Homo-oligomer: A and B are copies of this chain.
Amino acid sequence: MPPSEPQPVKLRDIAEAAGVTIATASRSLNGSYGVNPSTRKRVLEVASRLQYRPNRLARGLVTGRSQIIGLIISDIRNPFFSEVARGVEDAAYSAGCDVVLCNSDLDAEKQNRYIASLMAKRVDGIIMNSVTALRETEQEQLAQSGVPVVLLNKSFALSEFSTVSADNERGGRLAAEHFLRMGHRRLAHLTGPRQHGNLTLRAKGFTQAVREADPATSVAVLHGGHTLAGGYAMALKLFNEKQDVTAIFAANDAVAFGVLKAAMERGLRIPKDVSLIGFDDVDFASIVHPPLTTIRQSKYDIGEAAVSILMRLAKGKDKSPENRVLGVELIERESVRKLN
């Protein structure tokens, strides 16, 4: 008879084989306090010989913790999020947790379904890039569910959520100052939807810095999709309507790549005809032509930080929300030209 379905070995098996009860077996494995060293050694040996794998579902059922954290992002194909995800996963791995991946497309219904599903799995925590798509009651419910939540943007809504984000406002300022320094006076900013927390802050930093430095400088702000396609569309529109603009600040690198594409099609040269700054510094920023000047934020670190906050929250001791802001820096490459 073929051993088709190998019965997984359970605690009882190793207890019997080691000549102890299931309780001491458990204690030995979990390294808790009082167990005779020699007994423990024996149990451990048997366990490894039999390749014992504790059933985490059973353990989770009694402890109430699943060693799983949920990661709800817009789309893993976005290089920004895949880098964040890697940071999350590495940190979670170190902490002995698994991460379940959820792509929400920023859709409220999907987000709600994912949240429900994660809670049903009794996850130890949830990392979400944004909750702005949710209704206030839904946000409140989430905040009060008892499950630790870390957001990847500064929430304008409930302050009960912990957050981790780059210093978006400062990033916007850096872009503005660079353009100004390089002699540009007719600027444009291509950004995403108005509700987007991170992008709104970038826009705010950018426009404010311009206004403070030189009220005469003009800055046209276009809203659109914060994707390559969105950047492409906005750039096309801009090139049609505002032909005097000399410098564009894109809300993120993807949008900047869209600008690059549109410019190439229109026969506009970057930075000769128009200068460009992105935001994120994704891998490809240094590969495209011309290499993109951009605001770097440490995506990996954001993911890592989110997990570290989650772990503190999950420990149960200190439940107070934390808002961590990570630094940004201007990476000068070749997409900005000095005027005059």
Contacts and interface: CB of A to CB of B under 8 A. Distances in A.
Interface of A: 3-6, 8, 53-58, 60-61, 66, 68, 71, 75-77, 79, 82-83, 85-86, 89-90, 98-103, 116-122, 144-146, 228, 257, 260-261, 264, 283-284, 286-289
Given A60-B57, A86-B76, A228-B287, A99 B100 contact: yes
Given A79-B77, A100-B101, A146-B6, A228 B53 contact: no
Given A68-B100, A99-B101, A146 B287 contact: no
Contacts of A99: 100-101
Contacts of A264: 289
A89 B61 contact: no
A86 B58 CA distance: 30
Contact of A79 (B61, B79, B257): B79
A98 B83 contact: no
A319 B117 CA distance: 28
12 contacts: A6-B144, A53-B119, A56-B121, A57-B60, A58-B61, A77-B82, A89-B102, A89-B103, A99-B100, A228-B283, A257-B284, A257-B287
A84 B13 CA distance: 40
Contact of A57 (B5, B75, B121): B121
B76 A5 contact: no
Contacts of A284: 257, 284, 287-288
A83 B75 CA distance: 9
A329 to B, nearest CB: 20
Count identical subunits in the complex: 2
A5 B148 CA distance: 11
A288 B288 CA distance: 5
Contacts of A3: 144
Contacts of A101: 71, 85, 89, 99-101
Nearest to A5: B146
What 3 A-B pairs have minimum CB-CB distances, sorted nearest first? A289-B289, A53-B120, A57-B60
A5 B89 CA distance: 27
Contacts of A287: 228, 257, 260-261, 284, 288
Given A53-B119, A55-B61, A288-B289, A76 B98 contact: no
Which of A116, A121, A260, A287 has the most CB atoms of chain B within a 10 A radius of its CB?
A287
Given A55-B120, A257-B284, 18 more contacts: A6-B146, A53-B116, A55-B122, A56-B120, A56-B121, A68-B121, A75-B86, A76-B86, A76-B89, A82-B82, A85-B101, A98-B117, A98-B118, A99-B100, A100-B101, A101-B101, A228-B283, A260-B287
